[in-house]
Amino acid sequence: MSVAPSQRILGRDPSTGKGIAVTTEGGVIKAIDFAEHNERQWLSAGFVDLQVNGYAGHDLNGPTLDVATVRNLCQALLKVGVTTFLPTVITAPEARMLAALKAIREACARHPDVAAMIAGIHVEGPHIAPEDGPRGAHPEADVRPPSVAEFDRWQQAAGGLVKLITLSPHWPESPAYVRHLVKSGVMVSLGHTSADSARIAAAVEAGATLSTHLGNGSHAMLNRRHNHLWPQLADDRLTAMFIADGHHLTAAQLKAMLRSKGPGRSFVVSDTVALGGMSAGKYETSIGGKVELRADGFLAIDDGTGNYLAGAALPLIAAVPVLVNQVGLPLGEAIALMTAVPGRFVGGLGVMTIGKPADLVAWHWDGSAGVPKVAGVWLGGTRVA
C-alpha cells in the first residue's frame, strides 16, 4: 500500500456525540480535535471482527479457496466498515484446512491491502464436541481430538498466521494442547462444547482466555444448574465473544450475559458465512445443505419449520441497533464492543488514538432499528470505500 496523504476527516464521536476532526498523516492518526461543525455522520475506529467465515458470496470454507476469494472478501468487508478481521477456517479434513490456510497466507503475501486487514487466522475446530447441538453446523465426520502435530502443520501452512483456536475442553488432551498453543503465542477460546465445569476450569488454568459465541453452539435444552455456560460466565479470566445480530441470542440473554461478563470482558463478532449480505432466498450450501435466507438476516435450515439457524448472515455493524435499542447500551459502549475490546486481542487495534493506524469508518444512523449505513472507510489513511 502506498503512503496515504495527509487529510482531515470530520464526524461525530459516538461516545460524546460531539464533533471531532481526525487528522491523518503517513497512514496514522496525527491529531484528534473537537470541532464545531454540523456533520451528521458518526466517526469511529474501523470495526474489528474476530470471526468471519465468509461474506457477500465469498466463502473461506468451500471445497477450494484461492487468493482471489480472500481478497474479494476483504473488499466486501471494507464496504461494511470492517478494517481488521480474522478469517475463520472451520472443521474439515486436514488437507482441506491446510489448503485454506496456505491460500490466506499467500493472499497476505501478494496483496499489502489484504495483509493490512488480516490480523491472523482463527481456526474454529476440528477439536470440538462431536454430538448434535454443541457441534453446530460443523461436519461430524471431521471432528477429531487435539493434536500438537496437526497444529504445527497448520502453523507451517499458514506461515505463523494462526492466532486463535476455538476448541472444546472436554477432550482429555485439552490442557496439554492448550499449554502448547499458548506457549506458541496462540490464543485459545472455548466453544462448541458441553464440557463440565472441571474441564472448563482445567482449560482456563492451562491458558484459555476467550469464549467463542457464548450462548450458541450448545444443546437446545440444558441442565439449569450444571452446564457449560455458568462456569464461563463466572470466570473473570475469560472474555466472551457474542453474536449480537438479534437472532442468535434474545435481547434478554444478551443483556444478562453482557452484565455478567462486564464491558471489558465482552465483545461482538459477526460469525458471518458466505451468504451474509446476499439477497433473500433459498440456497444450497456446502456446509448446512439447503437453507433459506430471510430479508431480516435470519439464515434458517430449510427443513419446513424455518426455526433453526444455519449460520450468521449480518455484518458486524448490524449489532449497533441491537446493542443500543434492545440491550440498552450507550452508543459509545456499543461501538467499543466492536472496535477497542476485540482490538486488544490483535495488537491494540480498533482505537481512534494518536499514533495508531488511521483505520476509520464513517457511518450514518438515526437511532432506529435499521442497520447503519457506511459513508466512508479509511485503511491506513487511504479511503477505500
pLDDT at position 4, please?
Answer: 77
Count the neighbouring beta carbons within 10 Å of the beta carbon of residue 67.
18
pLDDT at position 222, please?
Answer: 81
Q: What is the mean pLDDT of the chain?
A: 95
| Percent of residues, the chain, with pLDDT higher than 90 | 85
Q: How far apart are CA 276 and CA 19, in angstroms?
A: 33
pLDDT at position 306, please?
Answer: 66
The residue assigned the cell 485439552 is 174
Is there a contact between 70 and 87 (Cβ–Cβ < 8 Å)? yes
For the whole prediction, is pTM greater than 0.95? yes
Q: How confident is the model at residue 1 (pLDDT cuts 50, 70, 90)?
A: low
Q: How far apart are CA 226 and CA 247, in angstroms?
A: 25
Is there a contact between 382 and 4 (Cβ–Cβ < 8 Å)? yes
Judging by DSSP bridges, how do beta strands 266-269 and 281-285 pair with one another? unpaired
Helices (H), the chain: 67-78, 94-110, 112-117, 148-158, 174-183, 197-206, 229-234, 251-261, 319-321, 331-336, 340-343
Judging by DSSP bridges, how do beta strands 266-269 and 239-243 pair with one another? parallel
pLDDT at position 37, please?
Answer: 75
- pLDDT, mean of residues 49-72: 97
Please report, as a single letter, which amino acid is at residue 24: T
Q: How far apart are CA 40 and CA 205, in angstroms?
A: 48
Judging by DSSP bridges, how do beta strands 309-312 and 298-301 pair with one another? antiparallel
Is there a contact between 44 and 14 (Cβ–Cβ < 8 Å)? yes
Q: How far apart are CA 292 and CA 384, in angstroms?
A: 32
- pLDDT, mean of residues 134-142: 89
Please report, as a single letter, which amino acid is at residue 212: T
- pLDDT, mean of residues 268-287: 92
pLDDT digit string, tens, across residues 344-381: 999 999 999 999 999 999 999 999 999 999 999 999 99
What residues contact 313, with CB distance under 8 A and at least 6 apart? 245, 272, 273, 275, 276, 277, 278, 293, 297, 298, 299
Q: How far apart are CA 180 and CA 103, in angstroms?
A: 25
Please state whether the peptide bond connecting residue 5 to the residue before it is cis, i.e. omega within 30 degrees of 0.
no
Q: How far apart are CA 285 and CA 277, in angstroms?
A: 15
What residues contact 334, with CB distance under 8 A and at least 6 apart? 14, 319, 320, 323, 324, 327
pLDDT at position 363, please?
Answer: 98
pLDDT digit string, tens, across residues 3-39: 777 899 999 999 999 999 999 999 999 999 998 877 7
3-state secondary structure of 24: strand
Q: How far apart are CA 137 and CA 31, in angstroms?
A: 46
pLDDT digit string, tens, across residues 174-216: 999 999 999 999 999 999 999 999 999 999 999 999 999 998 8
Question: Which domains does the chain possess?
Answer: 46-347 (3.20.20.140)
Selected residue with higher pLDDT from 136 and 13: 13
